[in-house]
Amino acid sequence: MKHLKHRYEVKVYEQILFVEDSISGEKLFGFKVSKHDSVKLRNLLYFGIPASVSSSEERIAQQIAEKYNSCFLEVFAPEEQKTIHIIRSYTNLFRPAFISRKHFQSYMSEVEKFLEHPKKAVLTLELEKTSEILERELVSNPFFTIDKAGDGRDLNRTNKSLIITSPSIYKKHKENFRNCRDLLFMRTSEEHLYIGPLIYSSRFQVPQFDNAEVNPAPLLLPQEEHLLYFFIERILYFYFFQLNDKLNQDCGMPVRHKLVLNRLSLNGYSERVTSYPRSHESYITIMK
């Protein structure tokens, strides 16, 4: 399948569809779509043009890909197609948050580098209870290799990059986390699901947790594990491509948050978690 490269964005204005370079702002081409489904055509360009034609939109998409071949990626393996789909979906989601083209260009460079030479990061799971569905979803994530540390005792053997853990495990094995670069906290209570904060522990101090946050976790429903992954996947994508630093430079949001979801009503809100820099030098770097 052929996919439009991620730096290019499809826009529709007054029945005219055109493709724009998000970095340079240049409009590459455009045409009228009054007789065609512009949403379907856009999705074909973004998420894959099939080899066989069964609609007028697919025929047009094929003609575009042939004429502007340098604007497209050709992908064959299902795993690669899944990766392309995830990157395109999140690129479209995060694109409006980029104020400067410089930071978007930096993000695109990292995306292109990953697609040319896929190199996964290591994600370590250090949770109280086995979450089979959540673990299975994490294993299928195309950006991370999953490692299970095991009861907080093996964390110091290597310099771990990102660890998903709970406040109770962190408090119990605090010394074993000293070589860990970054931490994503997750916990559950009888009433709520908590995701976050994500702490860049090489630069920020881990916040203090109250006693309620270190109580034993109840069992999760399968649906809740899927829901947790829905949010965690987005955070992991944000982390993998270092979007926090890029968007902070544009938006200026140094405060970390945790997401709180009511298990019964599914009402949710974002709760601020103030993060203190580890040193004065770190503070200066963050504020630049």
CA distance 168 to 170: 5
CA distance 249 to 18: 30
- Cα separations (Å) of 173 from 66, 70, 132, 160, 176? 57, 52, 23, 15, 5
Task: Output the six-digit token pair for 152.
Answer: 């907080």
Based on C-alpha coordinates, what's the Rg of the chain? 22
Q: Which of 196, 178, 190, 180 is nearest to 244 (CA)?
A: 196
- Cα separations (Å) of 268 from 69, 141, 174, 254? 45, 25, 29, 22
- How many helical (H) and strand (E) elements, i.e. helices and strands, does the chain have? 9, 12
CA distance 144 to 177: 20
- Cα separations (Å) of 231 from 134, 164, 216, 236? 11, 13, 22, 9
List the chain domain ranges.
2-116, 121-287
Question: Residues of 93-128 as b/e, b for ≥16 C-beta within 10 angstroms?
Answer: ebeeebeeeebbebbbeebeebbeeeeeeebbbbbe
- Cα separations (Å) of 23 from 71, 102, 103, 128? 14, 8, 9, 45
Task: Output the six-digit token pair for 230.
Answer: 């829905």
Beta bridge partners of 261: 193, 268
Note the pLDDT of residue 224. Answer: 93
Q: What is the dihedral of CA 126, 130, 133, 135, to 10 degrees?
A: 30
Find out whether 141 and 236 touch, Cβ atoms under 8 Å.
yes
Note the pLDDT of residue 155. Answer: 61
**Local confidence pLDDT in tens for the 288 residues of the chain:** 899 999 999 998 888 899 999 888 889 988 888 788 889 999 999 999 888 877 888 999 999 999 999 999 988 888 899 999 999 999 999 888 888 888 899 999 999 999 988 889 989 888 877 688 999 999 999 999 988 765 555 565 555 578 898 888 888 888 777 777 789 999 888 899 999 889 888 788 888 877 666 666 778 899 999 999 999 999 999 999 988 877 766 555 445 788 999 999 999 998 888 878 877 555 444 444
Note the pLDDT of residue 177. Answer: 78
Note the pLDDT of residue 3. Answer: 93
- The CATH code for residues 121-287 is 3.40.50
